[in-house]
Structure 1
């Protein structure tokens, strides 16, 4: 299989909604996701990376770029998801290698990310990618 890794054109952001919907265990309304992603693509520090298998998007990761006092210029992969039928074949490793290389071309020195507490498979993946736990992510809904 030959996969294509690329930055999704902003006008095509709606194409990722089905995957992100699955990521959130179908708890968020698709219309709400569509509104949020259509706002996110207007931000200068957000891009969306995707994996194509022919003309089908089978993987997604948002990329948030910023500079932090403790890590320098960094990228934060967000809403990382690969279609279940493509998992366990090394595709995640290939995708992250592509993300690392892409981030380097943008001058990034570090990669930071959050993952859901209950997603043990992602924890194992990120440990295998040499990520270290730096802290806790807190959320308060207003």
Structure 2
């Protein structure tokens, strides 16, 4: 890996399925590939963009971006499903990603960058604290059983 070979760019919605192999590595849930693709297709029609992190042309990471306006923050972006391939961790790529997202969000007139991190993911917490994020609350979920 050469530092100058690493690049970050928006993934064209027509290429959104390129992130599926990375999403399947998350391990926090199991969702069939067909369902992931269906959901990604729907997401691209909403206020969603997806970044790819590349080593030359090899996709090594991804980060979803949800743009919204919140009453407490105004325009903001929420980073979602941040994934960097294990082999590339510890090389400053996460910092490059946060810097890229922060600059990109500022250009889109966002006031805040937000994200969620699983409560058991302590390395993630430390990393994001070191990038200037603060914990503002808990993210609660309630699964609805569909009949």
TM over 0.5: yes
1:101 corresponds to which residue? 103
Q: Paired residue for 2:19, among 16, 19, 24?
A: 16
Report how many aligned residue pairs link the two structures: 141
Cα deviations by residue, 1:37-90 (Å, 9 ceiling, x for unpaired): 1110111x1000111112211010000001111111110000000000000111
TM (norm. structure 2) is 0.92
Question: Structure 1: which 5+ runs fail to align?
Answer: none
Would the alpha carbon gap of residues 41 and 24 (structure 1) be closer, same or farther in structure 2, given more than 3 Å must change?
A: farther
**Deviation for aligned residue 1:25:** 4.5
Q: Which residue does 2:62 correspond to in 1?
A: 60
Gap regions ≥5 residues in structure 2:
none
Secondary structure in structure 2 of the residue aligned to 1:5: strand
Q: How does 1:1-142 map to 2 (within 5 A)?
A: 1=2, 2-25=5-28, 27-43=30-46, 45-142=47-144
Runs of 4+ residues deviating >3 angstroms: none
Larger radius of gyration: 2
Q: Considering only aligned residues, what root-mean-square deviation do their CA atoms show, in Å? A: 1.1
What secondary structure sits across from 1:112 in the alignment?
strand
Q: Secondary structure at the match of 1:115?
A: coil
TM-superposed deviation, 1:27 = 2.1
88-97 vs 31-40, which moves further: 31-40
Structure 2: distance between partners of 1:74 and 1:52: 25
Query: Take 2:32 and 2:119, find their aligned partners in 1: how far apart are those partners?
Result: 22
**Normalising to structure 1: TM-score of the pair?**
0.95
